Amino acid sequence: MIRATMQGMDAITHPPAPINEPNLTYAPGSPEREALLAEIDTQQRRPRALRAHIGGRRRNGGGEERTVVQPHDHQHVLGTFRNATTKDAEAAIKAASAAAPGWRALPYDERAAVLLRAAELLAGPWRQRLNAATMLGQSKTAFQAEIDAACELIDFWRFNVHYGRQILAEQPIANSAGIWNRTDHRPLEGFVYAITPFNFSAIAGNLPTAPALMGNTVLWKPSSSQQLAASLTMELLEEAGLPPGVINMLPGDGIAVSEVALAHPDLAGIHFTGSTGTFHGLWREVGANIAGYRGYPRIVGETGGKDFVIAHPSADPDVVRVALLRGAFEYQGQKCSAASRAYIARSVWEQMGEQLLADVDALPMGDVRDLANFMGAVIDERAFATHKAAIRRARRTRSLQVVAGGQCDDSVGWFVRPTVVLGSDPRDAMFSTEYFGPILVVHVYDDAQFEKVVRQAESAAPYALTGAVIARDRAAITWASEELRFAAGNFYVNDKPTGAVVGQQPFGGGRASGTNDKAGAASNLLRWTSPRSIKETLVPPTDHRYPHME
Ligand SMILES: NC(=O)c1ccc[n+]([C@@H]2O[C@H](COP(=O)([O-])OP(=O)(O)OC[C@H]3O[C@@H](n4cnc5c(N)ncnc54)[C@H](O)[C@@H]3O)[C@@H](O)[C@H]2O)c1
Ligand SMILES: N[C@@H](CCC=O)C(=O)O
């Protein structure tokens, strides 16, 4: 247990400067490839019991048993867990409350040291453990696992320490004579409820730890499909020295957990990433319970997207082709940032369309344990059914034409071939619905219609997460950038709309895509603090009369 009051060092310190973790290549013959393959072998040997972590203890949840399987080989069970119950949620909130006084009394540098140590452990001995779990459980290729579970999570932990210090350094700039003004960046009063998605192990690791860094204690509900990597992340944090009860992890669908957490008077914040629909439900519940909370809960949510690529007639056709291949189909299009609608000038399409379709049909897809594959399977049966239905609808719709891919096969894994659909009507639902998978709809427009197409694309979907403009004409870039100013929180010029790097392109979107607090940035950490202004009068007055009264 941590003591409630702590003696910190008296020092203004200089922690290691944050640097982006370099990506390893996993090329044939590389030591990292060998280590990864060995770890994959170990992790798939027998199913692990994936327990809840409450107050530093591993416990079996009280609900029904569920399994975590390999999406590309869905008969292969990686682990089992029990769905968390209302009782588990109550115990986790109790543990978070018990840990809160000690954790927030620990000086910032000491809390930060836990995350810096976690980052170094992940860069070193834990790297392949988390990468292998992310490959097996979430069907990521070695490269996609490396940029997520290793590099991005390491970056979140390193950069957040830096941004948190910037927040602490934010102090009043004026003091009247004889006065010392200070800002105490307190944590929130109560617990933060972190709910994380299946698709990024880095997001799963960041959402509970960002509030914890700022002195909060947390109830963390990961996605069931990401539970293997989430369990390892908890173990890594514990090895890094995270005290018991600071983060309490409950597996399962979250229904029972929300029943307790969203009605609890100590709910101080929600840190969510996932679909827009789920976020609406959580917000509605908070609204309904608003009079019952001790304070107003902070609600931070990064949600869905329908991300665009717009190619101007001056675009380099090869740049467009590669941006679409990688932007739409890496990780099976299961990135919130994935390009899922494209608007291509006819003259550009004529130069690259045929090659794009041939490249798409040639993308190697299959079991991610075979490192020759570019893509794996979609996450689960539900995602598979959604894509199959969308492709079937496309085949039946007059304005849509499936021109690449379109095959779905769930006999071994939930495989959906990367699919390109040509859409002559940019108002079709395919241009506004997030399927969250490997379907790209393309509208080929007459070169003279660039401005009209940009204006239509600007608000064709309710989302505003990522978008890209590809052009060589500077005036076109400038015009489109202005016209699309509110259409994307992350805007790319001559690049794919995916792959934001912590510390370089802070990530998040507006409209139905989220509260745009930007993960891995000071603006996000700020949401987990509640500043207290302290005025100290060094020599206080002892006479109440105004000078003009004399
Ligand atoms: N904007 C971003 O930064 C970003 C990043 C990643 C993913 N996403 C979005 O996430 C979605 C895909 O992820 P997903 O399928 O895991 O999303 P999801 O909304 O289905 O699930 C997200 C999390 O919410 C949980 N959940 C659902 N209902 C709940 C409830 N009542 N109480 C508590 N928890 C509950 C799920 O179990 C999961 O842990 C896509 O829409 C994608 O665009 C957005
Ligand atoms: N930050 C990631 C997307 C995360 C959402 O799934 C990217 O920029 O591609």
Q: Is 514 in the pocket of ligand 1 (CB under 6 A)?
A: yes
Pocket test for ligand 2, best of 306, 337, 516 (most atoms within 8 A of CB): 337
ipTM above 0.95, yes or no: yes
Report CA 105 to chain centroid distance, whole Å.
29
Q: For the packed helices 201-213 and 227-239, what is the interaxial angle rounded to 10 degrees?
A: 40
Name residue 490's beta-bridge partners.
Answer: 466
Question: Which pLDDT score, from 0 to 100, does residue 62 have?
Answer: 86
Contacts of 398 (CB under 8 A, 6+ apart): none
Query: CA–CA distance from 501 to each of 142, 166, 175, 413 (Å)?
Result: 18, 19, 39, 30
Question: Which pLDDT score, from 0 to 100, does residue 2 have?
Answer: 47
Question: Which pLDDT score, from 0 to 100, does residue 474 have?
Answer: 98
| Residue 457, phi then psi, degrees to nearest 5 | -65, -30
Looking at the CA of 331, name the nearest ligand.
2
Q: How far, in Å, is the centroid of ligand 1 from the Cα of 278?
A: 6
Q: How far, in Å, is the centroid of ligand 2 from the Cα of 7?
A: 40
Pocket test for ligand 1, best of 275, 340, 387 (most atoms within 8 A of CB): 275
E strand or H helix that includes residue 510: strand 510-511
| Protein residues with CB under 6 Å of any ligand 2 atom | 199-200, 335-337, 498-500, 507
The span from the CA of 301 to the CA of 199, in Å, is 15
Q: Which amino acid is at 366?
A: G
The span from the CA of 3 to the CA of 463, in Å, is 46
Question: Which pLDDT score, from 0 to 100, does residue 7 have?
Answer: 63
- Which ligand 1 atom sits closest to the C-alpha of 225? 16
Pocket test for ligand 2, best of 275, 335, 513, 517 (most atoms within 8 A of CB): 335
Report CA 366 to chain centroid distance, whole Å.
25
Residue 427 tokens read as 């108002």
Q: How far, in Å, is the centroid of ligand 2 from the Cα of 535?
A: 42
Question: Which pLDDT score, from 0 to 100, does residue 550 have?
Answer: 80
Plot region of 125 (φ>0 → left; ψ -120 to 50 → alpha; else → beta): alpha
Residue of the CA atom closest to atom 34 of ligand 1: 254
The span from the CA of 221 to the CA of 230, in Å, is 9
DSSP 471: -
What pTM value is reported for the model? 0.98
Q: Is 253 in the pocket of ligand 1 (CB under 6 A)?
A: yes
Nearest CA-CA partner of 194 in 215, 160, 217, 224: 217
Nearest-5° angle of CA 248, CA 252, CA 257?
60
Looking at the CA of 326, name the nearest ligand.
2
DSSP 375: B
Question: Which pLDDT score, from 0 to 100, does residue 522 have?
Answer: 98
The span from the CA of 84 to the CA of 144, in Å, is 30
Q: Is 73 in the pocket of ligand 1 (CB under 6 A)?
A: no
Q: How far, in Å, is the centroid of ligand 1 from the Cα of 274?
A: 2
- Which ligand 1 atom sits closest to the C-alpha of 258? 32
Nearest CA-CA partner of 227 in 257, 203, 209, 252: 252
The span from the CA of 494 to the CA of 509, in Å, is 19
The span from the CA of 368 to the CA of 106, in Å, is 43
DSSP 58: E
Render the burial of 429-460: b for 16+ CB within 10 Å, e for the rest. Answer: ebbbbbbbbbbbbbbbbeeeebeebbebbbeb
Residue 399 tokens read as 């304005």
The span from the CA of 218 to the CA of 194, in Å, is 7
Residues in the chain: 550
The span from the CA of 273 to the CA of 282, in Å, is 11
* Span between the terminal Cα atoms of the chain, in Å: 60
| Residue 507, phi then psi, degrees to nearest 5 | -110, 135
Per-residue pLDDT tens listing for the chain (550 residues): 444 455 678 899 999 999 999 999 999 999 999 999 999 999 999 999 999 999 999 998 889 999 999 999 999 999 999 999 999 999 999 999 999 999 999 999 999 999 999 999 999 999 999 999 999 999 999 999 999 999 999 999 999 999 999 999 999 999 999 999 999 999 999 999 999 999 999 999 999 999 999 999 999 999 999 999 999 999 999 999 999 999 999 999 999 999 999 999 999 999 999 999 999 999 999 999 999 999 999 999 999 999 999 999 999 999 999 999 999 999 999 999 999 999 999 999 999 999 999 999 999 999 999 999 999 999 999 999 999 999 999 999 999 999 999 999 999 999 999 999 999 999 999 999 999 999 999 999 999 999 999 999 999 999 999 999 999 999 999 999 999 999 999 999 999 999 999 999 999 999 999 999 999 999 999 999 999 999 999 999 999 999 999 8
- Which ligand 1 atom sits closest to the C-alpha of 305? 43
Plot region of 405 (φ>0 → left; ψ -120 to 50 → alpha; else → beta): left
For every residue of 171-205, DSSP letters joined together read --S---TTEEEEEEEEE-SSEEEEE--SS-HHHHH
The span from the CA of 264 to the CA of 267, in Å, is 6
Q: How far, in Å, is the centroid of ligand 1 from the Cα of 37?
A: 30
Mode of pairing for the β-strands spanning 510-511 and 463-464? antiparallel
Q: How far, in Å, is the centroid of ligand 1 from the Cα of 277?
A: 9
- Which ligand 2 atom sits closest to the C-alpha of 505? 8
Query: CA–CA distance from 64 to each of 86, 106, 229, 350, 417 (Å)?
Result: 13, 38, 21, 55, 34
For every residue of 266-320, DSSP letters joined together read TEEEEEEES-HHHHHHHHHHHHHTGGGSSSPPEEEEE----EEEEE-TTS-HHHH
Report CA 174 to chain centroid distance, whole Å.
38
Residue with tokens 């510390």: 503
Positions annotated as catalytic residues are 302, 336
Question: Which pLDDT score, from 0 to 100, does residue 6 have?
Answer: 54
DSSP 418: -
